[in-house]
Amino acid sequence: MHSTSGAKSAHNPALDDFRIIQEPYYRSVGHEVALFEAAYGARMPVMLKGPTGCGKTRFVEHMAWRLKRPLVTVSCHEDMTASDLVGRYLLDADGTVWHDGPLTLAVRSGAICYLDEIVEARQDTTVVIHSLTDDRRILPLEKKNEVLKAHPDFQLVISYNPGYQSVLKDLKESTKQRFAAIAFTYPDAAIEAEIVVSEAGVKRPVAETLVRIAQRSRNLKGHGLEEGASTRMLINAGHLVAGGITLDQACEVALVLPITDDADMRDALTAAIAACL
Ligand code: ADP
């Protein structure tokens, strides 16, 4: 295998699509911005842990903008192969040509690579990140007979929802130990209402009501509900209200039906909503 360095590669126009020009709105809820900046400074891989829809993706987008790094995002799924991440040879008019996968693109050019919901991917796929997370910071491109040394600006970020993981799909201990982890939960009520106002364009009292409803629905987690209403769902409800739908209807459509098919649970949620209106 020959070794190449990402740092020497020329400006990669393919990466221009991944630059974040405008500041993505992110309301910080703790010390996460400073923590991430310190981790990036040390080029330490970062793991964002927390339930879906609580701001992890938005946070990474904000941090990429702040750090002026392009952001390559991959939504992981169980059919994803290592080649989907790393790259493959494809046939074109001139014969077989190597195409970098999203991870390789980020490693080569110094982007932040965000692997969203990493535990969705099979372990034989996630194994490719091992050598990127230790001191070597290399990515073996076996099919290309090349070992790619990461660009100095490259950073790996992964997210996962501890609630969903099964033992089998859990990350390997040796992988987990290499990361700095930042825990995400739903923000405090006042901050969450602020986010809903900003994102959905509803008045503050509407946002506060939605947050109260969400808190009740989160209390039902584990009592027949896999997850309560997320911040994302509150914003969806807010958008419907802003579009002229009544609050109770918006809640039914955005906060109840998407998370349960069970009639009793639906009634429990509807009653919880009615109590908040
Ligand atoms: P996750 O990646 O955790 O599933 P997202 O980052 O996609 O969740 O969050 C869902 C939506 O909630 C975002 O699109 C954004 O509108 C909003 N959101 C959640 N938390 C925040 C926050 N702290 N600041 C700004 N927006 C937020």
Q: 21 and 95 share a domain?
A: yes
Please indicate, yes or no, whether residues 244 and 265 belong to a single structural domain of this protein: yes
Buried b (16+ CB within 10 A) or exposed e, 92-109: eeeeeeeebbbbbbbbbb
Residue 162 lies in a domain: yes
In the predicted model, what is the mean pLDDT of residues 132-139? 93
**Same domain membership, residue 139 and residue 239:** no
Please tell me whether residues 92 and 198 are part of one structural domain.
Answer: no
Cβ atoms 97, 89 nearer than 8 A: yes
Residue 89, domain CATH: 3.40.50.300
Is there a single domain that holds both residue 34 and residue 143?
A: yes
Residues 201 and 147 in one domain: no
**Cα angle 35-140-57, degrees, rounded to a multiple of 5:** 35
Whose alpha carbon is nearest atom 9 of ligand 1? 55
Under the banding of pLDDT at 50, 70 and 90, the label for residue 26 is very high
Boundary-marking domain end, from 161, 183, 205: 183
212-251 pLDDT, tens per residue?
999 999 998 888 888 899 999 999 999 999 999 999 999 9
Domain of 98 in residue numbering reads as 13-183
Which runs of E-coded beta strand occur in the chain?
A: 2-5, 46-49, 71-75, 87-92, 95-100, 112-116, 138-141, 146-149, 155-160, 180-183
Phi, psi dihedrals of residue 250, rounded to the nearest 5°: -60, -40
Residues 134 and 200 in one domain: no
Residue 3 in any domain: the answer is no
HSE-CB for 14 with a 13 A CA cutoff: 14
Residue 6, domain member (yes or no): no
56 C-alpha to center of ligand 1: Å?
6
The predicted-structure confidence for 45-99, as pLDDT tens digits, reads as follows 999 999 999 999 999 999 999 999 999 999 999 899 999 999 999 998 889 999 9
Identify the pLDDT of residue 11.
Answer: 63
Distance CA 169, CA 156 (A): 20
Residue 170's pLDDT is 63
Mean pLDDT of the chain: 91
* Reported ipTM: 0.99
Q: Which of 232, 233, 234 to mutate to test the pocket of ligand 1 (most atoms within 8 A of CB)?
A: 232
**Amino acid 12: pLDDT:** 67
CB neighbour burial string for 111-137, b if at least 16 within 10 angstroms, e if fewer = bbbbbbbbbbbbeebbebbbbbbeeeb
- Reported as a pLDDT band with limits 50, 70 and 90, residue 151 is very high
Q: What is the pLDDT of residue 166?
A: 56
Overall number of domains in the chain:
2
Residues 77 and 146 in one domain: yes
CA of 235 to the centre of ligand 1 (A): 9
167: CA distance to ligand 1 center in Å? 27
Span from the CA of 117 to the centroid of ligand 1 (angstroms):
15
Query: Could you tell me if residue 4 is inside a domain?
Result: no
Last residue of a domain, one of 148, 183, 218: 183
118 shares its domain with 23: yes
Q: Of 25, 72, 1, whose CA–CA distance to 196 is shortest?
A: 25
Ligand 1 pocket by Cβ (under 6 Å) = 25-27, 29, 52-58, 187, 195, 199, 231-232, 235
Task: Tell me, yes or no, whether 36 and 126 share the same domain.
Answer: yes
Over residues 160-188, the pLDDT tens digits come to: 888 765 544 566 787 788 899 999 999 99
Which residue's CA is the nearest one to ligand 1's atom 23?
A: 27
